[in-house]
Protein backbone atom coordinates (compact mmCIF):
# COMPACT_ATOMS: atom_id res chain seq x y z
CA UNK A 1 0.00 0.00 0.00
CA UNK A 2 1.43 3.34 -1.05
CA UNK A 3 0.61 6.56 0.75
CA UNK A 4 1.28 9.76 -1.14
CA UNK A 5 2.22 12.63 1.17
CA UNK A 6 4.20 15.34 -0.64
CA UNK A 7 4.89 16.90 2.71
CA UNK A 8 7.69 19.38 3.33
CA UNK A 9 10.37 17.59 5.32
CA UNK A 10 11.61 20.49 7.38
CA UNK A 11 8.05 21.74 7.94
CA UNK A 12 8.55 22.19 11.69
CA UNK A 13 11.53 24.43 11.08
CA UNK A 14 9.61 26.31 8.40
CA UNK A 15 6.59 26.88 10.65
CA UNK A 16 8.86 28.34 13.29
CA UNK A 17 10.72 30.41 10.69
CA UNK A 18 7.36 31.91 9.66
CA UNK A 19 6.71 32.88 13.29
CA UNK A 20 10.11 34.58 13.43
CA UNK A 21 9.49 36.36 10.14
CA UNK A 22 6.12 37.61 11.38
CA UNK A 23 7.79 38.91 14.54
CA UNK A 24 10.40 40.87 12.56
CA UNK A 25 7.74 42.34 10.26
CA UNK A 26 5.48 43.31 13.18
CA UNK A 27 8.28 45.10 15.03
CA UNK A 28 9.98 46.60 11.97
CA UNK A 29 13.24 44.81 12.73
CA UNK A 30 15.65 43.88 9.95
CA UNK A 31 17.02 40.36 10.53
CA UNK A 32 20.19 39.23 8.75
CA UNK A 33 21.47 35.65 8.69
CA UNK A 34 25.28 35.61 8.32
CA UNK A 35 26.63 32.41 6.74
CA UNK A 36 30.28 31.60 6.00
CA UNK A 37 33.12 29.14 6.61
CA UNK A 38 34.80 29.23 10.01
CA UNK A 39 37.45 31.94 10.13
CA UNK A 40 36.17 34.20 7.36
CA UNK A 41 35.73 37.08 9.80
CA UNK A 42 32.00 37.11 10.60
CA UNK A 43 32.42 38.14 14.23
CA UNK A 44 35.07 40.78 13.48
CA UNK A 45 32.92 42.26 10.71
CA UNK A 46 29.79 42.31 12.88
CA UNK A 47 31.70 43.83 15.84
CA UNK A 48 33.18 46.57 13.66
CA UNK A 49 29.77 47.28 12.12
CA UNK A 50 28.32 47.70 15.61
CA UNK A 51 31.10 50.14 16.62
CA UNK A 52 31.04 52.18 13.42
CA UNK A 53 27.23 52.49 13.32
CA UNK A 54 26.60 52.83 17.05
CA UNK A 55 25.00 56.29 16.64
CA UNK A 56 22.80 55.20 13.75
CA UNK A 57 21.65 51.62 14.39
CA UNK A 58 20.68 49.62 17.43
CA UNK A 59 21.99 46.16 16.62
CA UNK A 60 21.42 42.94 18.57
CA UNK A 61 23.27 39.73 17.79
CA UNK A 62 22.40 36.03 18.06
CA UNK A 63 25.58 33.97 18.02
CA UNK A 64 25.61 30.33 16.95
CA UNK A 65 28.59 28.17 17.80
CA UNK A 66 29.12 24.51 18.56
CA UNK A 67 30.78 25.43 21.85
CA UNK A 68 31.88 28.51 23.89
CA UNK A 69 30.49 32.03 24.20
CA UNK A 70 33.66 33.80 23.05
CA UNK A 71 31.88 35.35 20.06
CA UNK A 72 29.07 36.76 22.23
CA UNK A 73 31.72 38.27 24.51
CA UNK A 74 33.38 39.99 21.53
CA UNK A 75 30.01 41.41 20.47
CA UNK A 76 29.23 42.68 23.97
CA UNK A 77 32.69 44.29 24.09
CA UNK A 78 31.73 46.12 20.90
CA UNK A 79 28.73 47.57 22.73
CA UNK A 80 25.76 45.45 21.59
CA UNK A 81 23.51 42.92 23.27
CA UNK A 82 24.30 39.33 22.31
CA UNK A 83 22.72 35.94 22.98
CA UNK A 84 24.92 32.91 22.53
CA UNK A 85 23.43 29.64 21.31
CA UNK A 86 25.68 26.64 21.86
CA UNK A 87 24.56 24.00 19.38
CA UNK A 88 26.66 21.24 21.01
CA UNK A 89 27.57 19.49 17.81
CA UNK A 90 24.85 20.67 15.45
CA UNK A 91 26.36 22.28 12.35
CA UNK A 92 23.65 24.92 11.85
CA UNK A 93 21.06 26.96 13.74
CA UNK A 94 17.38 26.09 13.62
CA UNK A 95 14.41 28.47 13.59
CA UNK A 96 13.30 27.26 17.02
CA UNK A 97 16.65 28.19 18.61
CA UNK A 98 16.38 31.62 17.04
CA UNK A 99 12.77 31.99 18.28
CA UNK A 100 13.94 31.49 21.86
CA UNK A 101 16.93 33.80 21.38
CA UNK A 102 14.70 36.59 20.00
CA UNK A 103 12.81 36.66 23.31
CA UNK A 104 16.00 36.67 25.37
CA UNK A 105 17.48 39.46 23.26
CA UNK A 106 14.42 41.78 23.50
CA UNK A 107 14.70 41.85 19.74
CA UNK A 108 11.70 44.18 19.38
CA UNK A 109 13.83 46.99 20.82
CA UNK A 110 16.48 46.68 18.06
CA UNK A 111 16.70 48.12 14.55
CA UNK A 112 18.70 45.17 13.28
CA UNK A 113 19.13 41.62 14.55
CA UNK A 114 22.16 39.83 13.14
CA UNK A 115 22.24 36.04 13.42
CA UNK A 116 25.78 34.74 13.15
CA UNK A 117 25.25 31.16 12.05
CA UNK A 118 27.61 28.28 12.85
CA UNK A 119 30.69 28.49 10.61
CA UNK A 120 29.76 26.16 7.75
CA UNK A 121 29.04 26.84 4.09
CA UNK A 122 26.78 23.82 3.55
CA UNK A 123 24.13 23.04 6.15
CA UNK A 124 22.97 26.47 7.38
CA UNK A 125 21.62 27.32 3.94
CA UNK A 126 19.02 24.53 4.21
CA UNK A 127 17.42 26.06 7.32
CA UNK A 128 15.27 29.17 7.01
CA UNK A 129 15.50 31.08 10.29
CA UNK A 130 12.86 33.64 9.33
CA UNK A 131 15.48 36.23 8.39
CA UNK A 132 14.73 39.07 5.97
CA UNK A 133 18.04 38.69 4.24
CA UNK A 134 21.02 36.36 3.96
CA UNK A 135 24.57 37.65 4.01
CA UNK A 136 27.13 35.13 2.78
CA UNK A 137 30.78 35.88 3.49
CA UNK A 138 33.97 34.52 2.05
CA UNK A 139 37.49 35.70 2.72
CA UNK A 140 40.48 36.02 0.45
CA UNK A 141 42.69 33.42 2.25
CA UNK A 142 39.99 30.76 1.79
CA UNK A 143 40.65 30.78 -1.94
CA UNK A 144 38.75 31.89 -5.01
CA UNK A 145 36.90 28.60 -5.57
CA UNK A 146 34.30 28.95 -2.79
CA UNK A 147 31.35 30.14 -4.94
CA UNK A 148 31.83 27.37 -7.49
CA UNK A 149 32.18 24.73 -4.73
CA UNK A 150 29.16 25.88 -2.70
CA UNK A 151 26.82 27.28 -5.35
CA UNK A 152 23.62 26.57 -3.38
CA UNK A 153 24.74 28.76 -0.49
CA UNK A 154 25.74 31.68 -2.70
CA UNK A 155 22.50 31.36 -4.69
CA UNK A 156 20.46 32.28 -1.62
CA UNK A 157 22.41 35.42 -0.64
CA UNK A 158 21.10 38.96 -0.91
CA UNK A 159 24.57 40.23 -0.01
CA UNK A 160 28.00 38.65 -0.48
CA UNK A 161 30.83 40.16 1.56
CA UNK A 162 34.32 39.36 0.28
CA UNK A 163 36.40 39.96 3.39
CA UNK A 164 40.15 40.37 4.04
CA UNK A 165 40.50 42.18 0.72
CA UNK A 166 43.65 43.81 2.14
CA UNK A 167 45.39 40.42 1.84
CA UNK A 168 44.83 40.19 -1.89
CA UNK A 169 48.29 41.49 -2.75
CA UNK A 170 49.88 38.66 -0.73
CA UNK A 171 47.71 35.77 -1.85
CA UNK A 172 46.84 34.38 -5.24
CA UNK A 173 43.15 35.19 -5.52
CA UNK A 174 41.30 35.67 -8.79
CA UNK A 175 38.67 38.26 -7.90
CA UNK A 176 37.22 38.31 -11.41
CA UNK A 177 36.61 34.58 -11.20
CA UNK A 178 34.87 34.91 -7.82
CA UNK A 179 32.60 37.69 -9.08
CA UNK A 180 31.74 35.73 -12.25
CA UNK A 181 31.02 32.51 -10.32
CA UNK A 182 28.68 34.34 -7.91
CA UNK A 183 26.89 36.05 -10.83
CA UNK A 184 26.14 32.70 -12.50
CA UNK A 185 24.03 31.36 -9.62
CA UNK A 186 22.97 34.75 -8.23
CA UNK A 187 22.89 37.57 -10.77
CA UNK A 188 21.19 39.99 -8.33
CA UNK A 189 23.51 39.61 -5.32
CA UNK A 190 25.00 42.81 -3.91
CA UNK A 191 28.72 42.13 -3.63
CA UNK A 192 30.93 44.24 -1.37
CA UNK A 193 34.72 43.90 -1.14
CA UNK A 194 35.72 44.74 2.41
CA UNK A 195 38.37 44.44 5.07
CA UNK A 196 37.04 44.35 8.62
CA UNK A 197 40.64 44.78 9.78
CA UNK A 198 41.53 47.96 7.85
CA UNK A 199 38.00 49.27 7.24
CA UNK A 200 38.46 49.27 3.47
CA UNK A 201 35.17 49.07 1.56
CA UNK A 202 32.98 48.97 4.67
CA UNK A 203 31.29 52.30 3.84
CA UNK A 204 29.41 50.63 0.96
CA UNK A 205 28.29 47.77 3.22
CA UNK A 206 27.11 50.31 5.81
CA UNK A 207 25.26 52.30 3.17
CA UNK A 208 23.41 49.14 2.09
CA UNK A 209 22.67 48.14 5.70
CA UNK A 210 21.30 51.57 6.70
CA UNK A 211 19.12 51.68 3.62
CA UNK A 212 17.83 48.13 4.11
CA UNK A 213 17.04 48.90 7.76
CA UNK A 214 15.14 52.02 6.70
CA UNK A 215 17.61 54.26 8.54
CA UNK A 216 19.18 55.91 5.55
CA UNK A 217 19.41 59.73 5.45
CA UNK A 218 18.33 59.89 1.81
CA UNK B 1 25.47 16.83 7.84
CA UNK B 2 21.99 18.37 7.69
CA UNK B 3 21.03 14.91 6.40
CA UNK B 4 20.80 13.84 10.07
CA UNK B 5 18.09 16.40 10.80
CA UNK B 6 16.30 15.47 7.58
CA UNK B 7 16.48 11.76 8.55
CA UNK B 8 15.00 12.40 12.00
CA UNK B 9 12.26 14.54 10.55
CA UNK B 10 11.30 11.89 7.94
CA UNK B 11 11.39 9.13 10.54
CA UNK B 12 9.00 11.02 12.80
CA UNK B 13 6.48 11.48 9.97
CA UNK B 14 6.75 7.86 8.84
CA UNK B 15 6.24 6.57 12.39
CA UNK B 16 3.15 8.79 12.78
CA UNK B 17 1.71 7.43 9.53
CA UNK B 18 2.57 3.86 10.49
CA UNK B 19 0.68 4.29 13.75
CA UNK B 20 -2.39 5.45 11.84
CA UNK B 21 -2.32 2.68 9.24
CA UNK B 22 -1.10 -0.07 11.57
CA UNK B 23 1.11 -1.45 8.78
CA UNK B 24 4.87 -1.81 8.62
CA UNK B 25 6.59 0.73 6.36
CA UNK B 26 8.92 -0.84 3.79
CA UNK B 27 10.13 2.06 1.70
CA UNK B 28 9.88 5.81 1.22
CA UNK B 29 10.71 8.32 -1.50
CA UNK B 30 11.99 11.80 -0.77
CA UNK B 31 12.95 14.52 -3.23
CA UNK B 32 15.17 17.58 -3.21
CA UNK B 33 16.15 20.39 -5.54
CA UNK B 34 19.50 21.52 -6.87
CA UNK B 35 20.37 24.21 -4.34
CA UNK B 36 19.01 22.40 -1.29
CA UNK B 37 20.79 19.21 -2.16
CA UNK B 38 21.12 15.96 -0.21
CA UNK B 39 23.95 13.49 -0.61
CA UNK B 40 22.55 10.00 -1.36
CA UNK B 41 25.08 7.97 0.65
CA UNK B 42 25.02 10.27 3.67
CA UNK B 43 21.22 10.36 3.55
CA UNK B 44 20.91 6.54 3.45
CA UNK B 45 23.36 6.17 6.31
CA UNK B 46 21.67 8.87 8.41
CA UNK B 47 18.25 7.29 7.88
CA UNK B 48 19.51 3.78 8.62
CA UNK B 49 21.03 5.04 11.86
CA UNK B 50 17.94 6.99 12.88
CA UNK B 51 15.62 4.06 12.06
CA UNK B 52 17.64 1.43 13.95
CA UNK B 53 15.59 -0.10 16.74
CA UNK B 54 12.34 1.52 15.55
CA UNK B 55 9.37 0.19 13.57
CA UNK B 56 11.14 1.60 10.48
CA UNK B 57 14.31 -0.47 10.81
CA UNK B 58 15.29 -2.03 7.48
CA UNK B 59 13.27 0.41 5.35
CA UNK B 60 14.75 1.59 2.08
CA UNK B 61 14.89 5.28 1.32
CA UNK B 62 15.14 6.66 -2.21
CA UNK B 63 16.31 10.22 -2.89
CA UNK B 64 15.00 11.84 -6.09
CA UNK B 65 16.94 14.85 -7.35
CA UNK B 66 14.58 17.25 -9.10
CA UNK B 67 16.22 19.23 -11.89
CA UNK B 68 15.89 23.00 -11.96
CA UNK B 69 15.04 24.70 -15.21
CA UNK B 70 16.99 27.74 -16.33
CA UNK B 71 16.57 30.01 -19.34
CA UNK B 72 19.68 31.44 -20.95
CA UNK B 73 19.59 35.25 -21.06
CA UNK B 74 21.56 35.28 -24.32
CA UNK B 75 19.88 32.71 -26.58
CA UNK B 76 16.67 32.14 -24.54
CA UNK B 77 17.10 28.36 -24.54
CA UNK B 78 15.43 26.65 -21.56
CA UNK B 79 17.23 23.61 -20.19
CA UNK B 80 17.89 21.55 -17.05
CA UNK B 81 20.44 23.50 -15.05
CA UNK B 82 23.48 21.65 -13.73
CA UNK B 83 24.70 23.62 -10.73
CA UNK B 84 28.16 22.08 -11.04
CA UNK B 85 28.45 22.88 -14.75
CA UNK B 86 26.68 26.23 -15.06
CA UNK B 87 26.90 27.06 -18.75
CA UNK B 88 24.16 27.23 -21.39
CA UNK B 89 24.00 23.98 -23.34
CA UNK B 90 23.24 25.91 -26.54
CA UNK B 91 25.54 28.97 -26.55
CA UNK B 92 27.77 28.37 -23.48
CA UNK B 93 26.90 31.74 -21.96
CA UNK B 94 26.71 31.97 -18.17
CA UNK B 95 23.72 34.23 -17.46
CA UNK B 96 20.36 32.71 -16.62
CA UNK B 97 16.88 33.21 -15.28
CA UNK B 98 15.92 30.41 -12.93
CA UNK B 99 12.66 28.70 -12.19
CA UNK B 100 12.13 28.09 -8.46
CA UNK B 101 14.13 25.22 -6.99
CA UNK B 102 12.24 22.16 -5.72
CA UNK B 103 11.72 21.96 -1.92
CA UNK B 104 12.69 19.05 0.31
CA UNK B 105 9.68 16.74 0.19
CA UNK B 106 8.62 13.44 1.67
CA UNK B 107 6.72 12.22 -1.39
CA UNK B 108 5.53 8.74 -0.60
CA UNK B 109 5.62 5.91 1.92
CA UNK B 110 4.98 2.28 0.99
CA UNK B 111 3.57 -0.04 3.64
CA UNK B 112 3.35 -3.84 3.78
CA UNK B 113 0.00 -5.13 2.58
CA UNK B 114 -2.21 -6.23 5.48
CA UNK B 115 -3.47 -9.80 5.15
Handedness of CA A209, A213, A216, A218 (dihedral sign): positive
Distance from CA of A19 to the nearest CA of B (A): 19
For residue A52, being part of any structural domain is answered with: yes
Between strands A30-35 and A112-116, the pairing is parallel
Q: Which domain holds residue A142?
A: 11-212
Q: Is A5 helix (H, G, I), strand (E, B) or coil?
A: strand
B66-91 tens-digit pLDDT: 999 999 999 999 999 887 788 888 89
CATH of domain B2-67+101-111: 3.30.2320.50
Q: What is the CATH number for A196?
A: 3.40.50.300
β-pair partners for A82: A61
pLDDT of A45 reads 98
A117-143 tens-digit pLDDT: 999 998 898 899 999 999 999 999 999
For residue A2, being part of any structural domain is answered with: no
A142-187 tens-digit pLDDT: 999 999 989 889 999 999 999 999 999 999 999 999 999 999 889 8
Task: Please tell me which residue of chain A has the smallest CA distance to B23.
Answer: A1
Q: Is the pLDDT of residue B1 over 90?
A: no
Hey, are the CB atoms on A127 and B36 less than 8 Å from each other?
no
Number of domains in chain A: 1
Q: Which of B23, B35, B103 sits opposite A8 (nearest CB)?
A: B103
Distance from CA of B37 to the nearest CA of A (A): 8
Hey, are the CB atoms on B103 and A151 less than 8 Å from each other?
no
pLDDT of B17 reads 94
Q: Is the pLDDT of residue A216 over 80?
A: no
Q: Is the pLDDT of residue B30 over 70?
A: yes
Hey, are the CB atoms on A1 and B5 less than 8 Å from each other?
no
SS3 sequence, A44-63?
A: HHHHHHHHHCCCCCCEEEEE
- Phi, psi dihedrals of residue A176, rounded to the nearest 5°: -60, -40
Q: Is the pLDDT of residue A195 over 70?
A: yes
For residue A1, being part of any structural domain is answered with: no
pLDDT of A187 reads 87
Average pLDDT of chain B is 91
A16-67 tens-digit pLDDT: 999 999 999 999 999 999 999 999 999 999 999 999 999 999 999 999 999 9
Is any Cβ of chain A less than 8 angstroms from the Cβ of B58?
no
Instruction: Give the best residue of B3, B4, B5, B86 to mutate against chain A (max A CB count within 10 A).
Output: B5
CB atoms < 10 A from the CB of B55, how many?
15
Residue B7's nearest CA partner among B47, B55, B57, B41 is B47
Residue A139's nearest CA partner among A204, A78, A61, A196 is A196
Q: Which of A12, A155, A180 sits opposite B9 (nearest CB)?
A: A12
Amino acid sequence: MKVSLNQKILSRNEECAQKNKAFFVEHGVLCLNFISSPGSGKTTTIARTIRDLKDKLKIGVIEGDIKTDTDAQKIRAAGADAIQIETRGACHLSAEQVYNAIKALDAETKDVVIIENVGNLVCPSAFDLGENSRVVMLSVPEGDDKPVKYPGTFAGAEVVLINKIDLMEHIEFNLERVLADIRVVNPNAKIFQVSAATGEGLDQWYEWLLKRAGRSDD
Amino acid sequence: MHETVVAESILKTILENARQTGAKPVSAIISCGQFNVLNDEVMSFAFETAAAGTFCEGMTLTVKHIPMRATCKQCKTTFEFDIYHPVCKQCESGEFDFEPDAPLLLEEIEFEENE
